[in-house]
Amino acid sequence: MTLILVLLCILLLIIMVSVLRINAFLAFLAVSILAGIVLGIPLTKIAGSVEKGIGDVLGSLAIIITIGAMLGKLVAESGAAQKIASVIMNICGEKYIQWGVVATGFLIGIPLFYGIGFVLMIPLIFSVVYKYKLPPLYIGLPMLAALSVTHGFLPPHPSPSALVIQFNANMGLTLMYGLLIAVPAIVIGGPLFSRTLKNIPSTPLQSFIPVELPEDELPGTFNSFFTALLPVLLLILATVFSFYAASYPQLKDVVALAGHADVVMIISLFTATLTLGIFQGKKISRIMNIYAESIKDVALILLIIGGSGALKQVLVDSGVSGQIAELLKNLHMQPLFLGWLITAVIRFAVGSATVAGLTTAGIILPLMIATHTNPNLMVLAVGAGSLMFSHVNDAGFWMFKEYFTLTLKDTFKSWALMESIVGIIGLIGVLLLNQIV
């Protein structure tokens, strides 16, 4: 009976978000309170559970997500992303143009949030299409596959970062494992799959092509690459140094502080403020305006993440999470696969990768702990599941359709299928890594 109540609450959440089109944050709050009531939490403690859940999640993520948005916005506004793209294009040439756009999407996708990266990549995709007279989907889908995979798998993006916190995983190790899985997922879902789509008609709209900055106004090549990738470099370095710092207590504390995700993002933003801002002739007031504007891009994401934390805490405080874990263990299903499957089903119903991943976290966490499943791999399994089954209730589906002027049928054949391919390859990569690490 308890499990049925939980499933009904999740079904209600799905209906509120996907059918009634209620804001996901408000839906999470309403369902969390209702779940607390029907699951038997004392009425005087329900509000406390909701507040604790929101506070625990946002307390760990607010700095990462907001500073990540600021960094991404500055990378875009300064022309660093455009510079990275043009350098890679020049290196690859027309023969290897697909691999060039994939590398560009991957590198730019790491520091940029998905929505920003999507809009930023469109002018590059269309300029390559017009310059080399190539099929739009042949060029566009590989780059957007790279963006999608970084969004689903890799910190400091909101959903994987939130999952790292909720599963008590290691940010650096998750990033390193994620990179190993991301590459084959992108290659198969991007360049290889897109070669089957050359005959799909698409005429990118000229009105969607923003004006690019003149070449002489762009930052230097090293500056652009170094600043955009600095968070990734620092996280990887901190993880590597942590293995050697164990024998030196004083160094261990320094590495722990410097390698903390919050500190990494602060260092990266301070560096970018200098390298892509002040040193490029921008006034500090203009840089601060860019940072202020960036918050608009992630404010709703923060609220949704906070709402998911509320539902998770209600499930934990009611004791239901433990009961679900016991029940799921009787299914004799691999926990990593189960996490992926639950996320994929919720993603299909809700449409939001972030909502799907964070909703699954509260359900799968007790089982993960009970079975001693690797938390870093669970982050990636849930992340892979969150990319599955993109269709009409997903904003990315419609963005792709409208920017490339596709029919619904062709959008399903291209975008929706690509998202499912990278989700399946991600799961396979996680299961293979689980046999090694």
pLDDT at 150: 85
Task: Tell whether omega for the bond before 156 is within 30 degrees of 0, i.e. cis.
Answer: yes
The CA R_g of the chain, rounded to the nearest whole Å, is: 22
pLDDT at 46: 93
Helix, strand, or coil (residue 406): coil
Range(s) of the domain holding residue 223:
2-434
8-state DSSP, 212: P
pLDDT at 127: 64
At residue 402, φ and ψ (nearest 5 deg) are -75, -40
pLDDT at 240: 73
Distances from the Cα of 46 to the Cα of 112, 136, 275, 314, angstroms: 36, 52, 48, 7
**CA angle, residues 81, 82, 86, in degrees to nearest 5:** 120
- CB 142, CB 101: distance < 8 Å: yes
Q: How many domains does the chain have?
A: 1
Q: Which residues of the chain have pLDDT under 50?
A: 207-208, 210
- 3-state DSSP helix/strand/coil % of the chain, to nearest 5: 80, 0, 20
Task: Tell whether omega for the bond before 375 is within 30 degrees of 0, i.e. cis.
Answer: no
- CB 196, CB 188: distance < 8 Å: no
pTM: 0.69
Residues 218-257 pLDDT 10s: 898 899 888 887 887 787 777 677 767 666 767 777 777 8
Per-residue tokens: 98: 């697909």
